[in-house]
Every structure is written in C-alpha cells, then in structure tokens.
C-alpha cells in the first residue's frame, strides 16, 4: 500500500497546493480519499486521473469535496475525447441527502457507506467511525491485510479514536490548531491531541495534516514530538508513505 498526500490544507488552499486529498494505491488499485479544493490541479502529478478506481469522501465540507465537480468534468470530457464510458464510484454517507445526490453525474455514481458496515473494495477493506464535527463525518480505517492506514478526517478529540487507530501503520490526523488552543469548538484537533491518540493507539507513524493558515507549522511537529516518540511528519504536497517492510 502506498499513500500520497495530494492536498493537506484545512479550509482553503494556498498557492500550488490543495485542501484535503490523499491517493492510496495497492497493486495498481487507486483510491482517492477526499477531493478538496485544488486537488484536480495536483492529482495529475501523481497519477492518471482516469485510472482512479473509487473515491471516498469523509463529509461534505468544501475543503473535502470542492473538486468533486471538477473530477466529474474530467471524467466527462476524457470519456468524450477517448470514446470511453468510464463511471467512477464516489462513496459517501447518505445522512445529507442533497449532498449525497450530487455524487451522481453522467460519469460518476454515488455509493452509500454506512457506519457499521465494512466496505470491501478491490484489495482494500474500509471501516468507519463517526467523528465529532459540526456535520456528520466519518474517519476511515483502511487495510490491505498487511498494513493499515487510519484517517481521522475532521474531528475534535474523542477517545474512540484510540481503539479505532490501534496499531495503525500510518495515522493521518486533523491537526488544525497548535498545542494549548481550543480546537474542540471548531470541531478540530491540536497537534497535542493528535499525538495523544497516536501514543495511546501505538501507531507506527503520525502524519499531521489539515493544516492551519497561521503560525509556524513546523511548531506542530515539535509539539506532537513532546508527547509521541514515534515517527512524525507534517503533511506536504507529494509526501509519500509506504510501510517500512515493503
């Protein structure tokens, strides 16, 4: 399994970068996790967009779905140019009916996932955990049977992340605030809260993502390192992870 950070900002993108979007690959199977603003301008750096097999969205905030419409146009136009009829499945929860309906398009098909049902897709298995956020949002635990990636999506701190992220090889967190700030009010986490979960869940590698647009972001890593002694990276465009054994 290989993960590439396509976008890592919270809220809105900065120059030549994107908000939440991650590409997960296994044996040629390609899954996109969230598709935030700017993602479609970054994604061709890492793959052929038409080769995507599925998209999973955690929730319907714009910094996670803004480029879904752009992705739909990409499929529409490329299908027309190449006389193909590819249809991309886009998985989302259906607790927001209007937002879920928009996953359907000429070249995409909305697929519902449910909190208590695992999804087996290609070589991957995905399970879900409801997060603490102003709108329904789901964290995902993705495994290929050999290694496991856990993505908190957007959430304030909750203890249930600890069993959910247990022994993950890679743990991608919402790190929207600095240590000592109140992230809970906004439905997000601090560097310290990300690290507390990483430590208690005994994950192998912490990837701090969903970054703030203020302060010195290098500080986020230092703050996390004071709590969690494992490997830590700040998400950046193009950051790639593979399990250390492969």
Residues that contact Zn ion, how many (by CB under 5 A) = 3
Minimum Å gap between C-beta 193 and Zn ion is 16
Minimum Å gap between C-beta 110 and Zn ion is 19
Residue 176: both structure tokens together:
């929207």
Of 107 and 129, nearer to Zn ion (C-beta) is: 129
Minimum Å gap between C-beta 12 and Zn ion is 10
Minimum Å gap between C-beta 55 and Zn ion is 16
Of 61 and 105, nearer to Zn ion (C-beta) is: 61
For residues 191 and 194, give the distance between their C-alpha atoms in angstroms, rounded to a whole number: 5
Minimum Å gap between C-beta 164 and Zn ion is 18
Of 89 and 136, nearer to Zn ion (C-beta) is: 136
Site for Zn ion in 73-132 (CB under 5 A): none
Q: Is 67 in the site for Zn ion (CB under 5 A)?
A: no
HEC string of 62-116 equals HHHHCCHHHHHHHHHHHHHHHCCCCCEEEEECCCCHHHHHCCCECCEEEEECCCC
One character per residue 137-156, x = contact with Zn ion (rule: CB under 5 A): -----------------x--
- Single residue of 24, 32, 42, 63 touching Zn ion by CB under 5 A: 63
Of 63 and 169, nearer to Zn ion (C-beta) is: 63
Stretch that binds Zn ion, among 57-65, 112-120, 123-131, 224-232 (CB under 5 A): 57-65
- Single residue of 37, 55, 61, 88 touching Zn ion by CB under 5 A: 61
* Contact predicate 137/58, CB 8 Å: yes
Minimum Å gap between C-beta 240 and Zn ion is 22
Of 61 and 217, nearer to Zn ion (C-beta) is: 61
Of 25 and 154, nearer to Zn ion (C-beta) is: 154
Stretch that binds Zn ion, among 59-67, 84-92, 112-120, 211-219 (CB under 5 A): 59-67
- What are residue 80's phi and psi, to 5 degrees? -65, -45
Of 36 and 124, nearer to Zn ion (C-beta) is: 36
The number of residues making up the chain comes to 246
Return all residues near 222 (Cβ < 8 A) that are at least 6 apart.
none
Strand partners, 130: 138
**What's the sign of the alpha-carbon dihedral 124, 237, 178, 134?**
negative
Interface residues with Zn ion (CB under 5 A)?
61, 63, 154
């Amino acid at each position: 399994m290989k993960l590439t950070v396509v976008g890592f900002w919270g809220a809105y993108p900065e120059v030549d970068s994107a908000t939440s979007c991650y590409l997960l690959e296994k044996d040629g199977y390609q899954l996109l996790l969230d598709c935030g603003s700017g993602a479609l301008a970054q994604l061709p750096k890492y793959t052929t967009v038409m080769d995507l097999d599925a998209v999973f969205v955690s929730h319907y905030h714009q910094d996670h779905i803004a480029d879904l419409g752009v992705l739909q146009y990409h499929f529409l136009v490329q299908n027309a140019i190449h006389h193909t009829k590819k249809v991309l499945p886009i998985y989302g929860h259906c607790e927001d009916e209007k937002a879920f309906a928009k996953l359907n398009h000429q070249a995409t098909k909305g697929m519902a996932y449910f909190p208590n049902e695992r999804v087996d897709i290609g070589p991957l298995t995905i399970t879900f955990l409801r997060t603490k956020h102003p709108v329904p949002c789901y964290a995902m635990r993705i495994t290929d049977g050999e290694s496991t990636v856990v993505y908190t999506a957007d959430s304030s701190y909750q203890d249930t992340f600890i069993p959910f992220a247990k022994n993950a090889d890679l743990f991608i967190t919402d790190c929207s605030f600095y240590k000592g700030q109140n992230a809970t009010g906004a439905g997000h986490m601090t560097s310290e809260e990300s690290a507390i979960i990483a430590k208690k869940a005994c994950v192998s590698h912490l990837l701090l993502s969903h970054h703030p647009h203020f302060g010195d972001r290098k500080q986020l890593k230092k703050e996390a390192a004071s709590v969690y002694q494992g490997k830590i990276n700040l998400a950046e465009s193009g950051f790639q992870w593979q399990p250390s054994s492969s």
